[in-house]
Amino acid sequence: MPYKIEFEIFEGNGGELCKENGEVVYPRNFEALGICAWMYRGDGEKSYQVGQKFRYPDDIGKICPWLLGSMDAVIQVLRFGGTLGWRYEGTPYEKVVNRKGVTTEFVRCIDPASGIVMKITRTEI
């Protein structure tokens, strides 16, 4: 069965991208500010923010390699019709499993300082 897969930034802080003379100006201490460097850099014109969506596989070049690596196994399971057993009931990460053709998973970035959680949604086409 064919599927559409999307990623959505569910948690994380991109801050507000600053530029000087056309160059990105980076904050001195991302960790202390709780800002993810990937989200901050965004598309080079503005920072990525919670709620921003990306399509798989079209937008993987816009995803941080560390984050993409964290999501890879889940993406592969979803691509081929599988689901993962945990549900996280009663938490903000509670999953949908094939309700009206939609299944969701949540993945935290491997970088503990980034604070990024991506929601991965598989929709039957």
Tens of pLDDT, residue by residue over 7-36, are: 999 999 999 999 999 999 999 888 888 899
Average pLDDT, rounded, for the chain? 95
Cβ-proximal residues to 40 (8 Å cutoff; 6+ apart), any chain: 14, 15, 17, 26, 27, 30, 47
State mean pLDDT over 55-69.
96
Q: What is the DSSP string of 80-91?
A: TT---S---TTS
pTM: 0.93
